[in-house]
């Protein structure tokens, strides 16, 4: 899972920003319960600030962070090494959908990755830009899924200790 650019100076101007944080946190919690690798990026943090504390406080201190200036994470030198080659499916959350999420999605698809975009955990300043980018990503082969669908796909079965650990978070939704 990669969380893209959910930063202090950018998040407040994003439509549905509270939902983006809420759903990103649900994905993060499930990823931690299931030991799914999580990484995050920051676009020009000197200007846009660090990742918002609601997200960064949930990240273990050793969580890999990648600083970038390219809109597509893939175009940033070193990103493929940062991403690693242990997984071919990448779940994306973050902002902005029509810029960094879409550009990264298209590049990852071109390189043979399966890309899953978490529907409520991405956003843009204008909702119509978000919707257009989600449609384009889907038409190009990305899976655009509700966050809850991603979590349940990860969990796979009810009744497990991991499922029970996630129950309180489902009730928050």
Q: What is the pLDDT of residues 10-26, one digit of tens each?
A: 999 999 999 999 999 99
- Whether residue 68 lies in the annotated active site: yes
Catalytic residue among 25, 68, 81, 140: 68
Half-sphere exposure for 127 (CA within 13 Å, toward CB): 6
- Whether residue 5 lies in the annotated active site: yes
Catalytic residue among 5, 25, 30, 39: 5
Kindly tell me the burial class for residue 19, based on how many C-beta atoms sit within 10 Å of its own C-beta (0-12, 13-18, 19 or more).
middle
Q: Is 80 exceeded by the pLDDT of residue 122? A: yes
Q: Is 90 exceeded by the pLDDT of residue 80? A: no
- Whether residue 100 lies in the annotated active site: yes
pLDDT of residue 173: 66
CATH number of 2-172: 3.40.50.850
Q: Is 90 exceeded by the pLDDT of residue 106? A: yes
**Nearest CA among 13, 59, 9 for reference residue 39:** 59
Q: Distance from CA of residue 119 to its chain's centroid?
A: 10
Catalytic residue among 30, 39, 73, 100: 100
Q: Are 93 and 3 in contact (CB under 8 A)?
A: yes
Domain boundaries, the chain: 2-172
């Amino acid at each position: 899972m990669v969380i893209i650019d959910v930063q202090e100076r950018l998040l407040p101007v994003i439509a549905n920003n509270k939902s983006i944080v809420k759903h990103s946190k649900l994905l993060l919690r499930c990823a931690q319960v299931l030991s799914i690798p999580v990484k995050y990026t920051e676009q020009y943090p000197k200007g846009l600030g660090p990742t918002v504390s609601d997200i960064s406080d949930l990240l273990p201190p050793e969580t890999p962070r990648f600083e970038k200036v390219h809109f597509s994470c893939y175009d940033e030198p070193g990103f493929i090494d940062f991403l690693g080659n242990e997984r071919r499916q990448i779940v994306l959350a973050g902002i902005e959908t029509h810029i960094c999420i879409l550009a990264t999605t298209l590049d990852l698809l071109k390189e043979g990755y399966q890309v899953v975009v978490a529907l409520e955990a991405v956003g843009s300043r204008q909702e119509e830009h978000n919707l257009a980018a989600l449609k384009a990503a889907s038409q190009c082969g990305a899976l655009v899924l509700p966050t809850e669908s991603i979590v349940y796909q990860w969990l796979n079965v009810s009744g497990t200790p991991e499922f029970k650990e996630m129950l309180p978070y489902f009730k928050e939704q």
